[in-house]
């Protein structure tokens, strides 16, 4: 007989570490490349307008960069599989940063558009490669939170760059901003030393646009594209839609949008890991549509600032939720395809929206054109609600 009492062993599992050395270096690299992009996002349209190219030139500059990104994004998964992360991301940083210096010597529309195209290719390499690398170096069950932290690293440069670029044009001039944009991308090349040289798992040889039917990727891709249409329009045309003496108002509005987007992206990621991203997508789109619609009242200071804030919340949440949904629906061997698709939606919506808006606004005025933009976002709410109902059943 034994009098000893035996107690069951309780195993305590700890969450896997999220921010490793590799992930930390990636976040620094993402910050530098993001700052390079956002410093000039609203400044290049202003630079062209100041040199006589008008609203059409502004729309073309954003459109050229984003559509070049779209074309390049189709190639990035294959580039990563062949050359690995270090080589491909290094090329992206150089293409994004170095051409900014050429803006110091010319404001010619064809040359500026060429520079935007080259920078767009660099942007495509960075965003597709970085998103795929986040999924590669972080734990699967903390993926939503990882994308949230990545969203902060992308969003902080927007907080700094979007409003600061517009604000500083009258203080230091365009030239100083062009140099700063180049330096912010080129100086983080040193972070590549800590990056993995190759992808951790062999990618399936699937075309970026192949295998969409029945994969569950089509809906979040198209929904996100609708939101990015409004995003590209707001940062390109808001500085042009208000009087020049109100650029401080535009800087404030862009600052609010830039602050709320990464915060919402991070929060959406945390809650998506717990309850699922599909249940949160429709509320995010409602916020984005409301914010975009408020710009119909383009003469109202309150409407511009509040609208930019609401849109930032919805846009940031939609970024995380759609991306998490897409990664949850494919095996790891298709991560490159998901990254490329999501970024195609981002840059394609951003670029096409800017080009079309530049043509439409000439005939309708800003209020009507902003209203049409909000309607596009509102249409995306329908499939998001359907996805939410399916997730609950």
pLDDT band at 199 (very low <50, low <70, confident <90, very high): low
The domains found in the chain, sorted by start residue, are 22-194 (1.20.1250.20), 211-392 (1.20.1250.20)
Q: How far apart are the first and last CA of the chain?
A: 54
**Which tokens is 324 given?**
């998490």
CB 281 within 8 A of CB 318: yes
d(CA 271, CA 201): 28
Q: State the Cα–Cα distance between residues 223 and 221, nearest whole angstrom.
A: 6
Confidence of residue 239 (pLDDT cuts 50, 70, 90): confident
pLDDT given for residue 170 in this prediction: 78
SS3 for 216?
A: coil
With contact defined as beta carbons under 8 Å apart, do 110 and 64 qualify?
no
**pTM score:** 0.71
Q: Which residue has the higher pLDDT, 206 or 365?
A: 365
Cβ-based neighbours of 382, under 8 Å, separated by 6 or more: none
Reported as a single tens digit per residue, the pLDDT across 307-363 is 999 999 999 999 989 988 888 887 777 777 787 788 888 888 888 888 888 888 888
Alpha helix segments (H runs only) across 169-246: 173-186, 218-241
Which residue, chain included where needed, has tokens 């969203």? 151
Q: How far apart are CA 176 and CA 169, in angstroms?
A: 9
- Give the span between the Cα atoms of 357 and 159, in whole angstroms: 24
Residues in the chain: 393
Q: What is the pLDDT of residues 52-79, one digit of tens each?
A: 776 677 778 888 888 898 888 888 888 8
What average pLDDT does the structure give for the chain?
Answer: 83
Any idea which residue has 């329908």 for tokens? Answer: 382
Mean pLDDT of 195-200: 67
């Amino acid at each position: 007989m034994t009098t000893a009492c035996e107690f069951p062993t309780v195993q305590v599992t700890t969450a896997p570490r999220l921010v490793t050395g590799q992930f930390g270096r990636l976040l620094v690299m993402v910050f530098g490349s993001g700052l390079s992009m956002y410093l000039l996002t609203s400044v290049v349209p202003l630079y062209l307008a100041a040199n006589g190219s008008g609203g059409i030139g502004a729309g073309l500059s954003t459109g050229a960069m984003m559509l070049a990104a779209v074309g390049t994004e189709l190639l990035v998964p294959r580039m990563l599989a062949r050359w690995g992360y270090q080589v491909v991301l290094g090329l992206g940083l150089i293409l994004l940063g170095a051409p900014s210096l050429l803006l110091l010597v010319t404001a010619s529309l064809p040359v500026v558009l060429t520079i935007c195209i080259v920078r767009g290719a660099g942007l495509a390499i960075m965003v597709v490669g970085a998103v795929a690398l986040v999924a590669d170096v972080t734990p699967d069950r903390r993926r939503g939170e990882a994308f949230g932290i990545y969203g902060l690293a992308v969003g902080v440069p927007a907080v700094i760059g979007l409003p600061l670029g517009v604000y500083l044009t009258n203080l230091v001039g365009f030239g100083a901003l062009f140099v700063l944009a180049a330096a912010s991308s080129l100086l983080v090349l040193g972070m590549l030393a800590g990056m993995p040289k190759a992808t951790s798992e062999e990618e399936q040889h699937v075309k970026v646009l192949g295998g969409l039917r029945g994969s569950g990727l089509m809906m979040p891709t198209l929904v996100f594209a609708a939101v990015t249409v409004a995003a590209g329009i707001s940062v390109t045309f808001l500085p042009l839609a208000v009087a020049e003496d109100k650029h401080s108002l535009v800087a404030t509005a862009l600052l609010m949008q830039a602050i709320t987007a990464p915060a919402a992206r991070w929060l959406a990621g945390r809650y998506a890991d717990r309850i699922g991203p599909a249940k949160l997508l429709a509320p995010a789109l409602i916020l984005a549509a409301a914010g975009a619609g408020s710009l119909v009242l383009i003469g109202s200071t309150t409407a511009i600032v509040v609208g930019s804030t609401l849109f930032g919340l919805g846009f940031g949440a939609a970024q995380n939720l759609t991306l998490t949904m897409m990664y949850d629906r494919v095996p790891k061997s298709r991560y490159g395809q998901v990254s490329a698709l999501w970024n195609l939606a981002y840059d394609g919506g951003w670029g096409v929206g800017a080009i079309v808006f530049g043509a439409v606004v000439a005939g309708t005025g800003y209020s009507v054109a902003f209203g049409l933009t909000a309607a596009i976002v509102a249409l995306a709410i329908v499939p998001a609600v359907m996805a939410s109902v399916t997730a609950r059943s």
